[in-house]
């Protein structure tokens, strides 16, 4: 791709507003070293040397949007608890807006704690509930989104679904209908529970596991006929305009309603796949907001997902590195 075209695209990212709706959580890390096995059980003993908390879930999507130069607006429901207060403080530290966040006394804020030693995950502990938010909170969340769509220039809406209860069928259906009425593109990272609820979205982005579980099928990603048949079945169920399927080490597949294509992954030194889907989603969303081609969306998203896998832990994309690689690898 010509450098001036890429320059224009990356500069245009800076003028976009992305509304991110979904499950917000705390990504907590315990970093340490392993020097022995426990005498109590056949498990390693990790001597903790550092602890760190980061904004997680939909908040990590917001961090990726911010890292790309765009302005994220985050909407979610979290608990009015210690972890929820941590979320608010973390958002402040990252200069992310908090006015779309609802804190509720009856909710438990999700915390994912990862124990990392010797450069890799040793254990993950989740504190969470998956109960849907109440009807009162659903209406309150929709009211906040509606007001934002009336008062802000929103270029794209992102649904980040972690099955923690914020994105209910009613919330999803209402907001997609509202977005379509305003011709605002919607981008979805689904989970199994509400997989079939995102009908009429603009871009649907499951991974292979989510595709198989959501449709109760068994797609063989190494067989293009199997993969493309799965994409067609997905289209018949969701009625999306475009689908982007992440295939791990095999790359990305995209369906634009007429044809399906596969973009192979680039060779990487993979250290950690955590958060790669969030990065792919964020890049695809901003490209969609600029009405870029599906080929470019898939290519840049493919690059971005691989880049963050070279880091340990959930980290946002580095825009400069993405630009450098895009200028080399994208035609």
For residues 228 and 49, give the distance between their C-alpha atoms in angstroms, rounded to a whole number: 47
Q: Which of 23, 104, 256, 278 is the catalytic position?
A: 278
For residues 18 and 70, give the distance between their C-alpha atoms in angstroms, rounded to a whole number: 7
Cα angle 190, 199, 213 (rounded to 5 degrees) comes to 40
What is the H or E stretch that residue 286 is in? Answer: helix 276-289
The position carrying tokens 């972890």 is 83
Cα 56 from chain centroid (whole Å) = 10
CB under 8 A, 24+ apart: contacts of 211-220: 211/245, 214/190
Is 278 in the active site? yes
List, in order, residues 6 or more apart from 62 with CB less than 8 Å away.
18, 20, 55, 72, 74, 96
- What are the φ and ψ backbone dihedral angles of 328, each rounded to 5 degrees? -90, -45
Asked if 306 contacts 269 with a C-beta cutoff of 8 angstroms, the reply is: no
* Bridge partners for 113 per DSSP: 28, 125
Active-site annotation, residues: 278
């Amino acid at each position: 791709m010509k450098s001036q075209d890429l320059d224009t695209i990356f500069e245009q990212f800076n003028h976009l507003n992305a509304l991110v709706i979904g499950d917000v959580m705390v990504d907590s890390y315990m970093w340490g070293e392993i020097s022995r096995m426990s005498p109590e059980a056949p498990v390693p003993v990790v001597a903790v040397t550092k602890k760190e908390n980061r904004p997680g879930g939909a908040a990590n999507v917001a961090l990726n949007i911010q890292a790309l130069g765009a302005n994220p607006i985050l909407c979610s429901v979290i608990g009015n608890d210690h972890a929820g207060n941590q979320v608010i403080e973390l958002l402040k530290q990252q200069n992310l807006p908090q006015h779309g966040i609802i804190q509720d006394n009856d909710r438990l804020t999700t915390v994912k704690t990862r124990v990392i030693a010797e450069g890799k995950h040793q254990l993950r502990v989740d504190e969470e509930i998956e109960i849907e938010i109440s009807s009162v909170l659903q209406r309150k969340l929709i009211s906040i989104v509606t007001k934002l769509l009336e008062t802000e220039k929103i270029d794209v809406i992102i649904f980040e679904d972690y099955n923690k209860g914020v994105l209910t069928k009613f919330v999803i259906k209402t907001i997609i209908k509202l977005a379509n009425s305003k011709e605002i593109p919607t981008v979805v990272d689904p989970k199994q529970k509400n997989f079939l609820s995102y009908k009429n979205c603009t871009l649907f982005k499951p991974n292979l596991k989510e595709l198989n579980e959501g449709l109760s099928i068994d797609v063989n990603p190494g067989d293009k006929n199997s993969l493309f048949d799965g994409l067609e079945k997905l289209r018949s169920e969701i009625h999306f305009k475009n689908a982007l399927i992440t295939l791990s080490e095999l790359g990305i597949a995209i369906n634009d309603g007429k044809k399906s294509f596969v973009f192979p992954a680039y060779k990487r030194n993979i250290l950690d796949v955590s958060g790669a889907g969030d990065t792919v989603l964020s890049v695809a969303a901003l490209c969609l907001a600029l009405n870029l081609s599906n080929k470019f969306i898939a290519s840049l998203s493919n690059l971005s997902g691989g880049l963050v896998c070279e880091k340990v832990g959930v980290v946002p994309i580095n825009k400069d590195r993405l630009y450098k690689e895009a200028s080399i690898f994208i035609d």
